[in-house]
Structure 1
């Protein structure tokens, strides 16, 4: 397998279209189609199902994509190491928790882009568990996740400490313990979110089983549902400081052992040379 063929395959997989992949690679469509067909024939498998103008990746294609990501990344690293390139450049794939991306990253990303305009920043958000797997599987180069992370394959650096608060609607009375909101629905991100786990643990430690847990994709949706009286949520105070919530919601302090959570920057230990990643880590 040639690296150029793998790069074409990876681009087609990301774009889901030969036309879009050809435009991104600055190649003619016939060349991209021919190289893709040659790769399928050499491997003896079908990498994509054709659905009109869209290409849907097959299970075999998904497996190859994992290897292609790793091989292309290693090739780029080898090239940089042999050339002695130290100036950050190329693509940097950053993973971040949704709330961290909203509250903390705009300033960091803005400053980094001004200092290193030749670095192409790509941001992916998700819960901590998803992001850890994305780093391990070479989907992102580094990620901002919530502690603790016990993976020896990952290097980790603490970057800041978040203070979590309990968010309720404006009509809720004082909250000292989980029993004060025992009958409320817990609102949070999908499974794998460390803040949601912390909220569930706070309830479980008090011997209370939530009546219901509702999952959402964005923190804005969670805040809106809290304001509507649909339930309670746990979020970093920093996110709420940056939004004008008026009198629609209340923030309740939590015990220190629940409220304080460290945010870590993590990346794979077995990729020691990555100028853009290292420069980004140094920006905190």
Structure 2
């Protein structure tokens, strides 16, 4: 197998389309199709089932995808190792929106100044989708909430967030019963923060009356300020948006819910010099955030001050 064939195969697997893969690789479609069939002939297996214009990956394609990701990463690492050792090339980073908004701007700016040869791409999303993208090789790494224990992934703690509950300004102390009877504003089901809050409420024997899904924290804060409902988010995000934060009331959460660790996840065993350099840049910014100030604890079914 040639590395060029693996790059073409990987692009088709990730894009799920010869047309999009050709555009990504700046090649003509006929070349992509020919090289893909040549790879299938060499391996003696079908990598894709073809239904009209659709390409459906076979089990062999998914197995080869893991090896292709590692081989291409090793090839890039080897090229950098025998050059000047400076990080360069494309680095695809995923992040929760709250982390991107509250934590990443200063370290990414410093990283860009120090390593101008790295083409950094940032994609935001919910933790579940970001982890899947790392597993499938669509992202080199992602900043997500919590540890997942996946043997295919390496997890490095970067930040620790203090989670708070926000309500309309002037809202009195919140009881858990009132929380359960309120509308909760949250991201989609793949959001780790939402999952933690829902699971915690279930442990208290409660269930939110209604959940309204939103796509941004700005919209969430605006709706909370107008009295539409309650939301749980990191204190650091509020600190980064003082004008919006001034329009809501902030309520601490119990000890078993208020702390959330942000992890950088990457595929285990795949070395990426540009990613290593990014992690070195993030660590100083994360050191202070790994020891947040203590917030008062709230007993179950007690008042949420």
Q: One fold, TM greater than 0.5?
A: yes
Residue 67 of structure 1 is matched in structure 2 by 64
What TM-score do the two structures reach when normalised by structure 1? 0.80
Equivalence map 1:212-251=2 (5 Å): 212-243=210-241, 244-245=243-244, 248-251=247-250
- Distance in 2, matches of 1:269 and 1:94, equals 16
Deviates more, 1:105-114 or 1:217-226: 217-226
- Please tell me whether the aligned partners of residues 10 and 69 of structure 1 are also in contact (alpha carbons under 8 angstroms): no
Deviates more, 1:29-38 or 1:273-282: 29-38
Deviates more, 1:113-122 or 1:221-230: 221-230
SS of 1:64's partner is: helix
- Give aligned pairs, total: 277
Residue 58 of structure 1 is matched in structure 2 by 56
Equivalence map 1:1-284=2 (5 Å): 1-11=1-11, 21-22=21-22, 24-28=24-28, 30-36=30-36, 38=38, 43-44=45-46, 56-60=54-58, 64=61, 67-68=64-65, 70-78=67-75, 80-81=77-78, 83-85=81-83, 86-170=85-169, 173-243=171-241, 244-245=243-244, 248-271=247-270, 273-284=271-282
How far apart are residue 6 of structure 1 and its match? 3.4
Deviates more, 1:72-81 or 1:141-150: 72-81
SS of 1:163's partner is: strand
- Please tell me whether the aligned partners of residues 147 and 263 of structure 1 are also in contact (alpha carbons under 8 angstroms): yes
How far apart are residue 118 of structure 1 and its match? 1.1
- Please tell me whether the aligned partners of residues 169 and 226 of structure 1 are also in contact (alpha carbons under 8 angstroms): yes
- Please tell me whether the aligned partners of residues 88 and 117 of structure 2 are also in contact (alpha carbons under 8 angstroms): yes
- Residues 229/149 of structure 1: CA separation in 2 closer, same or farther (3 Å cut): same
How far apart are residue 23 of structure 1 and its match? 5.4
How far apart are residue 58 of structure 1 and its match? 2.5
- Please tell me whether the aligned partners of residues 96 and 124 of structure 1 are also in contact (alpha carbons under 8 angstroms): yes
- Distance in 1, matches of 2:152 and 2:28, equals 41
How far apart are residue 275 of structure 1 and its match? 0.9
1:52-93 per-residue CA deviation (whole Å, 9 max, x = no partner) reads xxxx54244x97367346414423414533754532112212
SS of 1:282's partner is: helix
- Residues 212/23 of structure 1: CA separation in 2 closer, same or farther (3 Å cut): closer
- Distance in 1, matches of 2:136 and 2:19, equals 27
- Distance in 1, matches of 2:133 and 2:17, equals 23
Structure 1 gaps of 5+ residues are none
- Distance in 1, matches of 2:60 and 2:102, equals 35
